[in-house]
Amino acid sequence: MKKQFIILLVLFSACASTQQVSYITGVSEATISLPDGTKTVSIVNRVRLAYPANHSNILLLNANNPDLLNATFTTFRGSIRRQNYLTILSESNEYKHTANGTYPTALSPADLKQSSKGSDLVISLEKFSQRIEDSYTLEIRKQDLGNSTYREIDIFIAKRKIDVQLGWRLYDTKTGVVIDEWEESDNYFYESEGLTRVRATQLLNTNYRREMQNLGRSYGTRYASRISPTAHRQSVSIYSAGNDALVKGMLAVRSEQWTEAQKIWERGLKKEVKPKKRAKLLHNLAINQEQLGNNAEARKLAARAASEHPIGAKTQSIVGFALRDY
Q: Report pLDDT for 51.
A: 55
| pLDDT tens digits, 25-76 | 777 788 998 999 999 999 999 988 765 544 444 444 444 468 888 999 999 9
Can you tell me the mean pLDDT for 270-291?
A: 92
Three-state SS string across the chain, please? CCCCEEEEECCCCCCCCEEEEEEEEEEECCCCCCCCCCCEEEEEECEECCCCCCCCCEEECCCCCCHHHHHHHHHHHHHHHHHCCCEEEEEECCCCEECCCCCCCCCCHHHHHHHHCCCCEEEEEEEEEEEEEEEEEEEEEEEEEECCEEEEEEEEEEEEEEEEEEEEEEEECCCCCEEEEEEEEEEEEEEEEECCHHHHHHHHHHHHHHHHHHHHHHHHHHHHHHHCCEEEEEEEEEECCCCHHHHHHHHHHHCCCHHHHHHHHHHHHHHCCCHHHHHHHHHHHHHHHHHCCCHHHHHHHHHHHHHHCCCHHHHHHHCCCCHHHC
The whole-number pLDDT of residue 50 equals 65
Lowest mean pLDDT among 27-31, 84-88, 273-277: 27-31
Which of 117, 125, 101 has its CA nearest to residue 44?
125
Residue 326 clears pLDDT 60, i.e. is over it:
no
Whole-angstrom Cα distance, residue 232 to residue 24?
6
Residue 176: predicted pLDDT: 93
Q: Give the total residue count for the chain.
A: 326
Which one, of 297, 301, 296, lies nearest residue 282 by Cα?
301
Q: So what's the pLDDT on residue 65?
A: 61
What pLDDT score was predicted for residue 182? Answer: 95
Q: Yes or no: say if 166 and 72 are a contact pair by the CB < 8 Å rule.
A: yes
Mean local confidence (pLDDT), 154-162: 91
CB 191 within 8 A of CB 161: no
The answer to whether residue 265 scores a pLDDT higher than 50 is: yes
pLDDT score for 96: 82
pLDDT digits (tens, 9 = 90+) for 306-319: 999 998 888 877 77
- Residue 320, pLDDT score: 53
Q: What percent of the chain has pLDDT over 70?
A: 88
Can you say whether the dihedral through the CA atoms of 27, 32, 35, 38 is positive or negative?
Answer: negative
Q: Would you state the pLDDT for residue 157?
A: 94
User: CA-CA distance, 213 to 130, in Å (whole number)?
Assistant: 14
Domains of the chain, CATH where assigned: 5-25+238-325 (1.25.40), 30-228 (3.30.160)
6 compared with 88, residue with greater pLDDT: 88
How far is 129 from 59, CA to CA, in rounded Å?
Answer: 11
Crossing angle of helices 197-227 and 67-83, in 10° steps, is 30
* Model confidence, pTM: 0.63
Q: Are strands 40-45 and 47-48 parallel, antiparallel or unpaired?
A: unpaired
Computed over every residue of the chain, the mean pLDDT equals 83
- Residue 170 — pLDDT band, cuts 50, 70, 90? very high
- What digits encode the pLDDT tens for the residues 171-215? 999 999 999 999 998 888 888 999 999 999 888 888 888 888 888
Q: In the prediction, which pLDDT does 207 show?
A: 80
